C-alpha cells in the first residue's frame, strides 16, 4: 500500500529519520479513534493504557515478533471498549466478517 506525500515543506508529515509516523492507514485510524473517544469522555485513558501495557507484556512474553505496536494498540482499544460495554468482541467480529464479504475492489 503506497501513499504519496510531500517530503518537505509545511505539508510534510514529521518524518524525522525518514520515518513516517504511521506505516499503514489503519494504524492512524486506530490511533485517532482512541484519542477521539478519550476527548469525548467515552474512553478512560488509564483503562486504555493498562490494556495496552497488558497486550504489550503478553507479546513481549511470547516473543512473537509478527505483531507490531499498532496491533497491540488496536487490541487494547477493543479490550477497553468491550470492557466498557460499548462494542463487544462478538459484534465487532461479525461486522468485520460482513465487511470481508464485500466484492474485491470495493474501495477503488
Partner 1 sequence: MTATGRSDPAADPTGTLPPALRVEALEQLLTERGLIDPQVMDQVIDTYETQVGPMNGAKVVARAWTDPEYRARLLQDGTAAIAELGFSGPQGEHIVVVENTSEMHNVVVCTLCSCYPWPVLGLPPSWYKDPAYRARVVREPRTVLAEMGLELPESTRITVRDSSSEVRWFVLPQRPAGTEGLTEEQLAALVTRDAMVGVARVEAGPVEERVPAS
Residues that bind partner 1 (CB under 8 A): 11-14, 16-19, 21-26, 28-33, 35-40, 42, 45-46, 49, 52-53, 56-57, 59-60, 68-71, 74-75, 77-78, 81, 86-87, 89-100
Give min distance, CB of 6 to partner 1, in A: 10
With respect to partner 1, which residue has the nearer C-beta, 99 or 104?
Answer: 99
Grid cell listed for 20: 513516517
Give min distance, CB of 94 to partner 1, in A: 8
Angle in degrees, CA 37, 16, 6, rounded to 5: 85
Of 85, 83, 87, 1, which is closest to residue 48 (Cα–Cα)? 83
Give min distance, CB of 102 to partner 1, in A: 10
Grid cell listed for 98: 460482513
- Do 76 and 69 touch, CB atoms closer than 8 A? no
Amino acid at each position: 500500500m503506497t501513499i504519496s506525500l510531500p517530503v518537505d515543506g509545511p505539508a510534510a508529515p514529521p518524518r524525522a529519520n525518514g520515518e513516517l509516523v504511521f506505516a499503514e492507514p489503519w494504524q492512524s485510524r486506530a490511533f485517532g479513534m482512541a484519542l477521539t473517544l478519550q476527548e469525548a469522555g467515552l474512553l478512560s485513558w488509564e483503562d486504555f493504557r493498562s490494556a495496552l501495557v497488558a497486550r504489550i507484556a503478553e507479546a513481549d512474553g511470547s516473543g512473537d515478533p509478527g505483531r507490531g505496536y499498532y496491533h497491540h494498540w488496536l487490541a487494547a482499544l477493543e479490550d477497553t471498549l468491550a470492557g466498557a460495554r460499548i462494542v463487544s468482541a462478538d459484534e465487532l467480529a461479525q461486522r468485520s466478517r460482513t465487511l470481508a464479504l464485500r466484492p474485491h475492489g470495493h474501495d477503488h
